[in-house]
Chain A
């Protein structure tokens, strides 16, 4: 079974440019999450999709960030325009439908974003 994949692995852009990160969850996982780790700090939740719907976007920092999950498969996270403080590692995770259980989230390798 393939794991969560993310593209690109690294991205270096200038302040004011636009970047789009992509996440492909594990096949069959309805839940998809985005997290971010700024250097040396904790990993912070950004948002949660259930299929194509945004279940919780309470962690999105501001309206420069736009997440989509068309068709309930892969997801994109666009940052426009990028600022210096957006630098960090962006993780995507997915999990199966909860049902009556608490499912662990499976994480991708992350995209390291550097804004100069």
Chain B
């Protein structure tokens, strides 16, 4: 069975500071990893994905994520946070072995960027 853990319900950061939103996963095969963001009253927006190759993946709005196989982690990062980054962030995993296309999500982390 595949699973995702987002250990922090909320992350608070000051504008201009770097931010990290944590995600760890568990799958039986190789992972396909995704980050989505949900702004208020909006649907989930795709940010980035890791399938294979370079461990550092760059995505939309200046976000990036680093795949770490030994730690089974896929933390989301941004060098300089903006107030407009305040939103709900979801990490998701799909197992490369079986289980079809379905994504397994974490519980979400609310990012609050203060001016």
Contact = CB atoms under 8 A, between A and B. Distances in A.
B51 A48 contact: no
Interface in A12-47: 31, 33, 35, 40-45
Report which residue of A43, A44, A106 has the largest number of chain B beta carbons within 10 angstroms of its beta carbon. A43
B107 A55 contact: no
Nearest to A110: B43
B97 interface: no
Interface in B31-50: 32, 34, 36, 41-46, 49
Given A40-B107, A102-B51, A107 B102 contact: no
B44 A107 contact: yes
Report which residue of A48, A93, A102, A109 has the largest number of chain B beta carbons within 10 angstroms of its beta carbon. A102
14 contacts: A33-B101, A33-B103, A42-B106, A42-B108, A43-B44, A43-B92, A43-B105, A45-B104, A55-B101, A56-B101, A98-B101, A102-B49, A105-B103, A109-B43
Interface residues of B, number: 24
Interface of B: 4, 32, 34, 36, 41-46, 49, 51, 90, 92, 94, 100-108
Give chain A's interface residue range (CB within 8 Å of chain B).
20 to 34
Nearest to B49: A104
Contact of B107 (A6, A41, A58, A101): A41
Nearest to A107: B44
A4 B65 CA distance: 26
A74 interface: no
A4 B107 contact: no
Nearest to A56: B100
Nearest to A5: B43
Contact of A108 (B36, B43, B46): B43
Contact of A106 (B41, B46, B94, B103): B46
Contacts of B4: 42
Contacts of B106: 42
Given A56-B100, A104-B34, A43 B42 contact: no
B4 to A, nearest CB: 8
